[in-house]
Amino acid sequence: MANTTGKKHGGREKGTPNKVTQKTRDFISDLLEREQLNILEALEKIRLKDPTEYLKQWNALLEYSTPKLARAEIVGDKEAPVSVKWAKEDEGI
């Protein structure tokens, strides 16, 4: 019978990574660590030949070690502008 309640029953908790995804990430991380010297040498050759391509390749590698941050835009309107109040942690808001 189908679950029509909208509530989740069983299975992974929300946010739990897929085992295959985690294994793939671990594999890539291990590979980058083992091949670090070769990667640096290859990047240096690219840098000397074509600095623009070097930056493209460097950027491509960063995606595997640094998570992408989502962009956020907060927009107010003329009648209700956005207000930001900074408070110290112990002050609360």
Phi, then psi, of 17 in degrees rounded to 5: -70, 150
Nearest C-alpha neighbor of 32 from the set 71, 66, 69, 74: 66
pLDDT the model gives residue 34? 94
Q: State which amino acid sits at residue 19.
A: K
Residues with pLDDT less than 50, the chain: none
Q: Six-digit token pair at 66?
A: 């640094």
pTM of the full predicted structure? 0.46
pLDDT the model gives residue 93? 54
